[in-house]
Every structure is written in C-alpha cells, then in structure tokens.
Amino acid sequence: MRYPVIAIVGRPNVGKSSLFNRYAGASRAIISDVAGTTRGSVDGLVRKKGMPVFLMVDTAGIMAIDDDSTPEKVLEQRVQEQVRYAIEHADVLLYLVDGQHPDSASVDMEAAQLVRRSKRPYLFVANKCDNEAMVRDSVELTRLGLGMPLPISVSHKRGLDDLDDALKEIFSQHDLVSDEEEEREELFARIALVGTPNVGKSALFNALVGEEKVIVSDVPGTTRDSHDTFLTREEKIYKLVDTAGIKRRGRIDQGIETFSLLRTQRAIARADVCLLVIDAARGITKQDMHVVEYVLEEKKGLIIVVNKWDLIKTYDDLPEDLRAARIRVPDLMEQYIAFLRFKFPFLPWASVVFTSAKMGRNVQQVFPQVEKVMASREMRLATGPLNTFLSFVIEKHKPTGTKAYIPRIQYATQVGVHPPHFVFFVNDKEFFHFSYARYLENSIREKYGFEGTPIIIELKNKKKKTYVDKD
C-alpha cells in the first residue's frame, strides 16, 4: 500500500518530534531538550479529516558531516546519511526552524540548501513563535531563500490550523493521495522486535524492511526510541516496531533511557507478535528473561530469533552455558533449540528462527512464522468437537480429589482469541491443582497446535440453578 510521505527536517532541537507527535500520536517520538535525541527516523500513519492518509517521518537533526572515524562520529555520519535519504525519498518536506532565534538563520543555511537541492515540494515552517512579536520577527528567516515561513507554536498550539490548511493545499496541488483511504488498521500484523541491547534488532529490522530505516552500530544503546514502519508482503500489511534494548530492572538510567524503556513496553503492548532477538554467541541473559516477562504479561505471540548465527560454525562457538549443559544432539541448531527449551521451560510453544541479519541469511523466514503465529492467535474451536476431545483427555487423566469431594469438569468453551481463551466450567475450582490446568493446556496444544501463542486456561465455577417455589 502506498501512502504520501511527509518528512519533517531541520537542525536539532527545533521541535520536530513535538510536531510529529501532534500528528502521529502522543509521545510517539521521544521529546527532550538534549540535541540529537532522535537518532534514527521515526514514522507513523496520520489520519486527519480532509487529508489523504499519509506517512509522516520524524528525522534526526541535520548537522554537518565530518570525516572523524571515532565510533561516535561514524554513528553520527550514519544518522546524517539517513536524514538525507529521507529528504531524497519524501513526497513533501516540512522544513522546521526555530522562530525564537531568527537571527541565527546562518546555522540553518546548510539545511535550507539540502531542501532546495532536493527539488521536492516543501513547507517552510517557523516553530516556537509563541507570541505576536515572534511572529513578526520570523520575517528575518526569509534570508534562507525559501520564502516567508509559516509561523506556528506547537507547545502553545498557535498556527496549527494554518499548517493543516497548508498541508491540504500541497496535497491538492501535487495530486498526492494514498492507495486506499479507508481504515485498514485491522489488517496489520503488528510485530515488535524486542531484546537486550546490541543483539542485532536494528539490523534485523532493516533486513526485513529492505532499507536502512534504523541506525545499525556496535555502540550499545544506539536505538533509543521505538521505530515503526509499514510494509506490504504478499498482499499482507505488516507494521514493524524496532525497540530500544530492555536493560536489567534496577539498572535503568533516568531521563531518555527511562522514556525508551516505557516506549518499548508500550510497543510490546500494541504488538500482535514479538520477535525476541538473541545473540547466538552470547546465549541467554538475565535481561532476556525480563524481556520474556514483559511479553508474557501482555500475552503476546512470541518467536525467538537466534540472530548472528553466522558466528556459530562449530561446537566450540556455542555459548559457554550451552556447552556446560552437555546436550547430546549432533546438529548445532537442534542443540540450540534444546537449550532454549531448557532455559525457557515455560515456553515450549514458542517458534524459533535462526538468522544472520548482517549477512541477510534466513531473514525472510520470519514472515511465514509470523503468519503461523497469527493463525494460531486467531484460531477458534467449536464447543462441540472441543468437548468431545476433552472427554477423552479427562478420562485418560482425571483430576484428583478426596473421598469427600471429587472435582469435576462440566464442559469447556472458547470465549476469545488474541490470545485463545478457554473457560472450563467446574463444580469448584478450589479443588483443582494448577498442574491440572497445565495438563489441559498441553493436551489442547498437542491436538490443535497453537504454535507461537500463549493460551489462557480459566477454571470457573458453574452456577447452580435456583428454583422458586410457586406455592
């Protein structure tokens, strides 16, 4: 599906993320007074009355690129290359400057030159014009050679209706429409890439999308924000979210890192399927356990992606704790799967995919697995056949009770999907051990699959009928 793309560009700390959040949803991008907070591009679909559905992109601040080869400078060079990519590929540029300091227009000159050279339609907007005096002073910004800026103040909600009108006009002038204007949100499979820092989530994200949407670097913590993008594959629409790495609880820095963690948790909550990305050579960490806790708390579909598999060529390349487990399986992948089942005994249903995002190996196998998980999450069992099957399951292994009280299951029914939710009506749920609920779940999985998704088994007391004496 094709949407018009509007890229917000400008130097750091002029309010790009605040403006983006105004259109794409509250706090989609991290807002901070720290210049350079937005490291990669963040995008989101915008639906506003009177406009086509469009994709808005919040970019990092435009800065000069130098030739320094330090890791931090190389990372900044990658960021700036990404900004220029956004400028070259957007349908419309929304060039934002700081209207509070029009006398500093010289620092905006390089950014203005990029906008002019792109030959893209653009809107020239001066933000932070909080009062009439600032609006009048914004005329000085015409020295940038882009015409008279449109004065607004996102924080004071000034001029925003005028900006909406300007967007509508530019859409109309350039005949920009989306392929489909109707709400299609229900067709998206929402996929969140989660895991600890520096396991290759961003590289995997870029390999799945097919372009460098998120900065890839060996510097831990490169991804501070949650990055959303949309793609269509075999007529299926996917929404992918690359999240900041989840650190160990109790070791989360204040400020921006805290916001990133909250954004990651929110991304998990909004996802249908989570890809837990782990480093094949590093193995399972305590932080991975915490990531799984978040996913299970939200009852999301789960695929374990063992990334950097290109590093595993022999038995000696496997993680030390895996070798210490002495799993006697000749195949390296089978050994790793057995190790995952050992470390995550409560996740026998999770799918596993081995990839090398850096080398582009096996990455596209993620999508068929996502389809399987989505099918499992949407599966609904008819009550009749379900109870016929369960009668054999219960007869095979009856719930244990006492001489005074025998626990009984009256019948079961599926009451929900995403995830599948089963209710078992019983005479008294207090007499059922938790292990019996696990037995019921395992039996249902063995019969029907439900690969990649948690299922809910709920025991509920069946209400006794009451009779009214008509006399």
For residue range 182-205, list pLDDT tens digits in order: 444 455 688 999 888 888 888 898
CATH homologous superfamily of 185-376? P-loop containing nucleotide triphosphate hydrolases (3.40.50.300)
The pLDDT of residue 462 is 80
CB of 301 closer than 8 Å to CB of 308: no
DSSP code at position 197? T
Output 381-385 pairs: Cβ under 8 A, ≥24 positions apart: 381/414, 381/420, 381/448, 383/411, 383/412, 383/413, 383/414
Candidates 2.102.10.10, 3.40.50.1240, 3.40.80.10, 3.40.50.300; correct CATH number of 5-173?
3.40.50.300
Q: Name which of 361, 430, 351, 443 is nearest 396 in CA terms.
A: 443
Q: Do domains 185-376 and 383-461 have the same CATH topology?
A: no
Which positions of the chain have pLDDT values less than 70? Answer: 1-2, 25-41, 65-69, 71-72, 103-107, 178-188, 211-228, 242-264, 402-403, 464-471
The pLDDT of residue 254 is 42
* CA angle at 417 for the pair 445 and 371, rounded to the nearest 5°: 70
The pLDDT of residue 185 is 47
**Tokens describing residue 437:** 């609920």
The pLDDT of residue 257 is 43
The full set of domain ranges for the chain reads 5-173, 185-376, 383-461
383-461: CATH topology? GMP Synthetase; Chain A, domain 3 (3.30.300)
Q: Name which of 262, 346, 263, 269 is nearest 304 in CA terms.
A: 346
Q: Which helix (H) or strand (E) holds 358?
A: none
The pLDDT of residue 370 is 96
